[in-house]
Amino acid sequence: MAADRVERSVGRTVRRIGIALLVLGGLAVWEALTGYYQLNAGEAAVILRLGRYERTEDREGPQLMLPFPIETRDVVHVGVSQRRDFGDVEATDAARLAETAMQTGDNNIVLVEFVVQYRVGNPFDRLYRVADSERLLAEASQAAMREVVGRYTIDGVIGERKGAVASEAAELLQELLDRYQAGIGVEAVELQEVQPPGPVREAFDDVLAASQDRNRAVNEAEGYANEVIPRARGEASERIAAAHGYRDAKIADATGEASRFLALAVEYQKAPAVTRRRLYLETMEVVLPEAQKVILEPGTALPYLPLPTGAAQGER
Amino acid sequence: MRRLALGIVFLVVLALGASGLGFGPIVLNPEGEQRIAFLLGDPVRVIQEPGLSLVPPFARIQVFDARWRQLSAEPREIPTLDQERIVIDYYVVWRIEDPLQFRRNFPTGLLEAEKQIDQQVRGQLREVVGQKQLMQVLKGERRAILEQIARESNAAVERFGVEVRDVRISRTELPRGTEENVYARMRAERNRLARKYRAEGEEQARVIRAEADRESQVIVAEARRDAEIERGKGDAEAARIYAEAYSTDAEFYAFVRGLEAYRKTLGKGTLLVLPPDHEFFRLFQSGGELPPVSAPGR
């Protein structure tokens, strides 16, 4: 009787241990199935425990958490930058064009193609505070860019204020996304292409051409100046050099003649009459041979004087 | 054995309830959601906090989104104070704040809610934009206007159990047809600018050329002046040298210079009519007698 009772109690204990082991085994399998997972690089897992936010795991590698339904997880990409394009300046269909055309501060229309580079900054917000993060990003990007473009003139947006437009748009976009608790971090906004609309593109190009024409006219004029002025300077130098030459020559000639005269004068002083006579006769010797001579008594009038043909013609 | 079986059944019922099949007694409300528990058609519990809650068993659970949602409206033409009609494309960020109120107002759900919210916002938009001029809406007071619209829309939809977080213009356009006017104006403005640049270029070129001409004239004129001065110096110095030298014996100079003049002017082609008693012929007269030498030259 006692043996039977012992047997039954032992059997009961064995059964209980067996059931316990079964239950534990089942739990272990359940945990392996739902509580074990792998996190890759750039991934984050948001863990809810019984529906409430518990923690965010972002280390790479194998992870363990409490099994379903105690803990649940959602995995999000946080490491990778993502890009979103807006607009197409070459678009022809109405919808795409509408996305691209924007109004500027000076009441003009400009076509803007831009890119938003972003990543998930707050996985919890991204998952549980906002219903469709991507769609919100798209519309908020448009809103932000248009508001900022509206602050500038068309020349500013196309030209030198492009950088300011981009950075202000990024700032405004981040402000909006934060207000919406979208959990998105804006890394950069870039303006890829900014063009005037098709129907006025020619007029815009003409302004560029006109600017170039202006530069060219000025360059040509400066080229002219660079030619004319040096030429004038050259002429100036020539004239002055010639004048110097004239002056030097004049002085040299004068000096030469003066010293020649002075030397002669010295000799003259030593024997004036003789020198005078000599000089006189020398001169006559030069002059008289060439000239036509007629020796005639003054007072005798001749009705006709045969003049030599050479003298008549005035040869010298 | 029977206790064990009872225990298992109890756990299963609990689990089933918590699994969200929608009938209590344990309700798991995760982040981003909110629930109402109904018993026999009457709401008995509104759960907005995340976590586990207890409700009467076999209560019916209805789930609502607690997250921010986005409503993209159809673009609408809205007139401004200065009679400009702009097409505004906007979006509204909103969420269910009070699920009970929400359900009362929108029993059919989100679509109806969005329609109503849009209507309210549109009304605010018309009212506010209608009091402003076009440029104020687009640029000057854009932010303030949007904030006002959002604020007033929020107040208007509060009775729906809804919260409006933001109203933003994602696009404004001029109505079809007025674009051509804008393009014409843009073209005219660009043409004006092009003309201006070209005119500026011509003017600057003219100025540069004129200045260059002027300067080169000045350079040459100054050179001419300096050259003349220089020549003058040469002439003056030469004259001084001559005068200095010749004045040491002016008479002799006159003599020598006179002879030189004869040398230069008389000669070939000159006809000299000389009297026989000319001084040159005196040796003819004297017949060999030595003439007086000491007499001063004639």
Query: Could you report the per-residue pLDDT of B41-57, keeping only the tens digit for each?
Result: 888 889 999 988 888 87
Q: What is the pLDDT of residue B177?
A: 75
Q: What is the pLDDT of residue B295?
A: 46
Cα separation of the two ends of chain A:
185
Render pLDDT for A207-228 as a digit per residue (tens, 0 to 9).
999 999 999 999 999 999 999 9
CB within 8 Å of B246: residues ≥ 6 apart: A258, A261, B253
Cα A30 to Cα A84: distance, rounded to the nearest angstrom: 41
Q: What is the pLDDT of residue A1?
A: 67
Average pLDDT over residues A125-134: 92
| Exposure of B12 in the CB half-sphere (CA atoms within 13 A) | 6
Q: Does B247 touch chain A (CB under 8 A)?
A: no
Q: Which of A128, A233, A290 sits opposite B268 (nearest CB)?
A: A290
Cα A158 to Cα A144: distance, rounded to the nearest angstrom: 17
> By mean pLDDT, which of A1-10, A101-110, B11-20 is the weakest?
B11-20
Render pLDDT for B118-145 as a digit per residue (tens, 0 to 9).
999 999 988 888 888 877 777 778 888 8
Q: What is the pLDDT of residue A275?
A: 87
Q: Which of A179, A242, A284 sits opposite B280 (nearest CB)?
A: A284
Across chain B, what does the average pLDDT equal? 85
Q: What is the pLDDT of residue B296?
A: 46
Q: What is the pLDDT of residue B225?
A: 94
Q: Does A195 touch chain B (CB under 8 A)?
A: no
Render pLDDT for B106-120 as a digit per residue (tens, 0 to 9).
999 889 999 999 999
Q: Which chain B residues have a beta carbon less than 8 Å from that of A296?
A: 273-276
Cα A156 to Cα A144: distance, rounded to the nearest angstrom: 17
Q: Which chain B residues have a beta carbon less than 8 Å from that of A255?
A: 241
Helix (H, G, I), strand (E, B) or coil at B91: strand
Q: What is the pLDDT of residue A310?
A: 53
Cα B149 to Cα B90: distance, rounded to the nearest angstrom: 12
Is pLDDT of B1 > 80?
no
Q: Furthest-apart CA pair in chain A: how many Å?
A: 212
Q: What is the pLDDT of residue B298?
A: 43
Is pLDDT of A72 > 60?
yes
Q: What is the pLDDT of residue A316?
A: 47
Query: Residue A262's closest chain B neighbor by CA?
Result: B245
Query: Residue B28's closest chain A neighbor by CA?
Result: A51
Strand ranges (DSSP E) for chain A? 36-39, 43-49, 52-57, 61-64, 71-77, 82-86, 101-103, 109-120, 184-195, 292-295
Q: Does A284 touch chain B (CB under 8 A)?
A: yes
Closest chain A C-alpha to B42 CA, distance in angstroms: 25
CA angle in degrees (0–180, nearest 5) for A140-A143-A148: 125
Closest chain A C-alpha to B105 CA, distance in angstroms: 21
Is pLDDT of A98 > 50?
yes
> By mean pLDDT, which of B87-96, B249-258, B276-285 is the weakest?
B276-285
List the 15-74 stretch of A: residues with Cβ below 8 A of B.
Answer: 48, 50-53, 69, 72
Average pLDDT over residues A115-122: 93
Q: Which chain A residues have a beta carbon less than 8 Å from that of B171?
A: 98-99, 142, 146
Average pLDDT over residues B264-280: 78
Q: Kind of pairing, strands A82-86 and A109-120?
A: antiparallel
Output the CA torsion B5→B9→B15→B21 (10° steps).
160
**Are the C-beta atoms of residues B94 and B160 closer than 8 Å to each other?**
no
Q: Does A159 touch chain B (CB under 8 A)?
A: no
Is pLDDT of B10 > 90?
no
Structure tokens, A39: 């996190």
Confidence of residue A105 (pLDDT cuts 50, 70, 90): confident
Query: Residue B294's closest chain A neighbor by CA?
Result: A273
List the 182-201 stretch of B: residues with Cβ below 8 A of A.
Answer: 182-183, 185-187, 190-191, 193-198, 200-201
Is pLDDT of B14 > 70?
no
Q: What is the pLDDT of residue A309?
A: 59
- Tokens 């030209």 sit at which residue? A159
Q: Which chain B residues have a beta carbon less than 8 Å from that of A283?
A: 259-260, 262-263
Confidence of residue B280 (pLDDT cuts 50, 70, 90): confident
Is pLDDT of A94 > 90?
no
Please indicate whether, in this complex, the C-beta atoms of A221 and B295 are within 8 angstroms of each other: no
Q: Which chain B residues have a beta carbon less than 8 Å from that of A136?
A: 68, 70, 93
Please indicate whether, in this complex, the C-beta atoms of A294 and B274 are within 8 angstroms of each other: yes
Q: What is the pLDDT of residue A80?
A: 84
Confidence of residue B83 (pLDDT cuts 50, 70, 90): confident
Confidence of residue A140 (pLDDT cuts 50, 70, 90): very high
Closest chain A C-alpha to B218 CA, distance in angstroms: 9
Across chain A, what does the average pLDDT equal? 88
Burial, B70: exposed, middle or buried (Cβ in 10 Å; 0-12, 13-18, 19+)?
A: buried
Query: Residue B49's closest chain A neighbor by CA?
Result: A52
CA angle in degrees (0–180, nearest 5) for B43-B45-B48: 125
Confidence of residue B16 (pLDDT cuts 50, 70, 90): low
> By mean pLDDT, which of A125-134, B20-29, B87-96, B252-261 is the weakest?
B20-29
Tell me how far CA of residue A42 lies from CA of A53, A55, A59, A80, in angstroms.
21, 17, 9, 6
The more confidently predicted of residues B237 and A93 is B237
Confidence of residue A301 (pLDDT cuts 50, 70, 90): low
How high is the ipTM of this complex? 0.72
Average pLDDT over residues B63-89: 87
* Tally of CB atoms within 10 A around B213: 15
Is pLDDT of B161 > 70?
yes
Structure tokens, A110: 């400009």
